[in-house]
Structure 1
Amino acid sequence: MTTPIRLVLVDDHRMFRSGVKTELDPEVTEVVGEAPDVDEAVKVIKATRPDVVLLDVHLPGGNGNGGVDVISASKFVETEAKQPVRFLALSVSDSAEDVIAVIRAGARGYVTKTISGTDLMTAIRRVSEGDAVFSPRLAGFVLDAFGAAAGEIAEVDEELDRLSAREREVMRLIARGYQYKEVAKELFISVKTVETHVSSVLRKLQLSSRHELTAWAMGRRLL
């Protein structure tokens, strides 16, 4: 049996935290702590060492920077498996300023509170595995955060030149955290074709996972 993902919920609304817990599958996630503000969140994260922190962006306490303060104060905490604690922002806000701030601070993803319970479970699992996850419409903000315009190659190098134009498009979307079906819809191709392109990209770049692909793309400011 797979060990559940250990999760801490951070949101200043108790009813919202309760609602999120009803959407989570207890066989997949185990809520090991909750917090309503920055200071309590940091204490709980350090005490429980969760795999993932589901984090609201706007919180009382700390230095007045909400979720950014939580990440800054606890991003070097390690899980029991000696992996870094990973942060997934879950917020009602979809402003570029909020998205960029928490991603720069170290969050692995950002989704809005309009997300379905099923998609939230998927996002938590993927972040726990090291993937970057964003609501599709927020991806452009992440591009801005890393100084590259949408659809623009930020840097040309020998490795990048190995990829075809279509492989580059697929690579960017996968590295941003899109699921295969989302890439297929975005590029008007089949899921099977997406899988083929991803396999080709990983082979050409000598990478073994989506996590390595994301790190590779971020290193070249392609996200």
Structure 2
Amino acid sequence: MRVIIVDDHPLARAGMVGELARVGGFDVVGQAHDVDSAIAITRELKPEVVLLDVHMPGGSGGGGAEVVRACSDLYPDTKFLAISVSDAARDVVAVVRAGARGYVTKDVTGEKLADALRRVADGDAAFSARLAGFVLDAFGAGSGDVADRDDELDRLTAREQEVMRLIARGMAYKEVASELFISIKTVETHVSAVLRKLQLSNRHELARWAAARRIV
């Protein structure tokens, strides 16, 4: 199966390439690191599946969903499987609304990632039970409530949202830095920006804020 991997972290891309090589049956024909390069390489190579990070730089700030929309004329030849550290309802529904066929989190095993890619390539959906519930809530009941805009959340950049969710889950700065392949100093900078934008005093208030919105 011909696959393109899109992620703004080189180590994350390398990890996914390595896992797919270990499992076997996949030919990673290209890689991209931002919205613009992802759109260009997808339209050029037209793979069976694009494994697509949800939050990444470039374009008009729409991340993975923007890539899917920009390549919508390639359907049904090319399918999209979203991958992210986030399992928040808002992120899941946004990229599915754009046209992705599945969504997995970055703690997925190589075997489960391979299975999700195969299912998406075959035209099936690929979600965990929890994430599938978000999709059913948003689409099965005809309700858009899950994806409604949150003005406070929209103040944060995609990277700040990633850091916010991990911190709100109780992860230490060092753990967040390792998860996102950034420095501890960068994590501290993002956390300070998040607290300032949300007008919160500390990470405990941040955890309560995130839990109240069901985004952790």
Say which SS state the counterpart of residue 146 (structure 1) adopts.
Answer: helix
Distance 2:86 2:100 in 1: 15
Q: 1:147, CA displacement in angstroms?
A: 4.7
Identity, % of aligned pairs?
A: 55
Provide the residue aligned with 1:127 in structure 2: 120
Cα contact 2:46–2:77 (8 A) shared by 1 = no
TM-score (norm 1): 0.61
- Is the CA contact 2:81–2:102 (under 8 Å) kept in the aligned structure 1? yes
Matched residue type, 1:28: G
* Among 88, 94, 102, the residue aligned to 1:95: 88
Two-structure CA RMSD over aligned residues (Å): 1.4
Partner residue of 1:48? Answer: 45
1:20 pairs with one of 12, 16, 19: 16
| C-alpha deviation, 1:25, in angstroms | 3.4
Q: 1:32 maps to which residue?
A: 29
Unaligned runs of 5+ in 2: 143-216
1:63 shift after superposition: 1.1
Count of aligned residue pairs for this structure pair? 141
TM (normalized to structure 2)?
0.63
Q: Distance in 1 between matches of 2:44 and 2:93?
A: 28
Cα shift at 1:84: 2.4
1:94 is aligned with what amino acid?
Answer: D
Could you say which structure has the greater relative contact order, defined with CA pairs below 8 angstroms and 6 or more residues apart? 2
Which residues of 2 match residues 142-221 of structure 1 at below 5 A?
A: 142-148=135-141
**Counterpart in 2 of 1:68?**
65
CA distance in 2, matches of 1:86, 1:75: 9
CA distance in 2, matches of 1:108, 1:138: 12
Contact 2:84 2:104 in 1 (8 A): yes
Structure 1 range deviating more: 18-27 or 106-115:
18-27
Between Structure 1 and Structure 2, the one with more helix by share is 2
Match in the other structure for 2:3: 7
**Equivalent in 105, 113, 124 of residue 106 of structure 2:** 113
Give the unaligned 5+ runs of structure 1.
150-223
